[in-house]
């Protein structure tokens, strides 16, 4: 084990996957450009060449269609979308093609496609460059959605996604890139569909996704100083979700706060709350469930307004205190 950053773990995972399997290749906009992908693709082009690291024109629909076709032909493409906002252009090949082919062909074909979607929130980028659209894509049957929150998990989940055999969306939040943690040098996978407990507690459950896991951990540590035990659950996979882990925690604490980097209405947080509300665990709730999400408004392009728009550990702490009537 050594301590490396999230982006270093992501880069290492890409190097190892391309080294191990000639069927794996990386395709997308700016995969050879630090401006697009930061250090996540450093050294890939020099090592593997233009046949394995394919920089594409700005045509999300066409590039995604090419990747789906390659997956149908037996390759294992990693399709990079440098801004999730512009994946809207790619909804047809994702929703109508990649997510449906296995079902439509009676399981005779599969689409081993990994869609690497990057969220670029903050930094005064405005409404068209700050969108986290994972809930929309998780709504699709046939598409799995994973949301790593640590260096260890991004390396393991990327490998698991590539070899899952199904189309998988890996949601990558750039706010995680500087987070550091222990990561093995060897190859390993993190199972899709299994969550983890980041902090244990008995008073309130906080279920958080992607970058909001880091904010939830901060909140839990501060709440512990006040004598409040906040249990932090990281689903890691939005679809299929580790329902047993979430329900077990809420049954224990009787309280639930959900923190997600998407919008409030019809989002991932609402789905997690519905999971609890539709189960017998709802009978054990001691107070109404609470969402900590973005407001139902486009992202502002002002640094001052961004401070009020994006959620932090302070918002999670307030929600947890409200749950306990404090």
Q: Which residues are catalytic?
A: 129
**DSSP states of 269-325:** HHHHHHHHHTSGGGGG-SS--EEEEE-SSPPPS-HHHHHHHS--HHHHHHHHHHHTT
* Cβ contact 211:155 at 8 Å: no
* Cβ contact 311:294 at 8 Å: yes
The reply to whether omega before 240 is within 30° of 0 (cis) is yes
209, 304, 320, 210: which is closest to 254 by C-alpha? 320
Tokens standing for residue 182: 């222990």
DSSP state of 202: S
């Amino acid at each position: 084990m050594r301590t490396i950053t999230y982006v270093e773990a992501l880069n290492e995972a890409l190097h190892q996957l391309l080294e191990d399997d000639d069927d794996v290749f990386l395709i997308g906009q700016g995969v050879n450009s630090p401006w697009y992908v930061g250090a996540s693709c450093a050294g890939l082009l020099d090592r593997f060449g233009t046949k394995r690291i394919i920089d594409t024109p700005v045509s999300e629909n066409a590039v995604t269609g090419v990747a789906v076709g390659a997956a149908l032909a037996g390759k294992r493409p990693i399709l990079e979308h440098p801004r999730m906002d512009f994946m809207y252009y790619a909804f047809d090949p994702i929703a109508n093609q990649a997510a449906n082919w296995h079902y439509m062909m009676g399981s005779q074909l599969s689409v081993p496609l990994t869609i690497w979607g990057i969220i670029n929130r903050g930094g005064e980028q405005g409404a068209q460059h700050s969108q986290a659209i994972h809930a929309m894509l998780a709504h699709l049957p046939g598409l799995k959605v994973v949301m790593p929150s640590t260096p260890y998990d991004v390396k393991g989940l990327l490998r698991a996604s590539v070899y899952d055999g199904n189309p998988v969306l890996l949601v990558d939040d750039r706010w995680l890139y500087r987070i550091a943690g222990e990561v093995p040098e060897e190859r390993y996978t993190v199972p899709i569909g299994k969550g983890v407990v980041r902090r244990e507690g008995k008073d309130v459950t906080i279920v958080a996704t992607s970058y909001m896991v880091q904010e939830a951990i901060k909140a839990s540590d501060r709440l512990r100083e006040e004598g409040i035990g906040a249990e932090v659950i990281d689903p890691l996979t939005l679809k299929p979700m580790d329902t047993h882990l979430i329900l077990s925690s809420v049954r224990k604490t009787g309280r639930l706060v959900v923190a997600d980097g998407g919008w409030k209405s019809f989002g991932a947080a609402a789905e997690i709350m519905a999971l609890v509300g539709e189960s017998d665990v709802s009978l054990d709730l001691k107070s109404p469930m609470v969402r900590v999400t973005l407001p139902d408004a486009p992202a502002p392009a002002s640094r001052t307004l961004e401070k009020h728009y994006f959620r932090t550990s302070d918002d999670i702490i307030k929600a947890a205190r409200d749950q306990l009537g404090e």
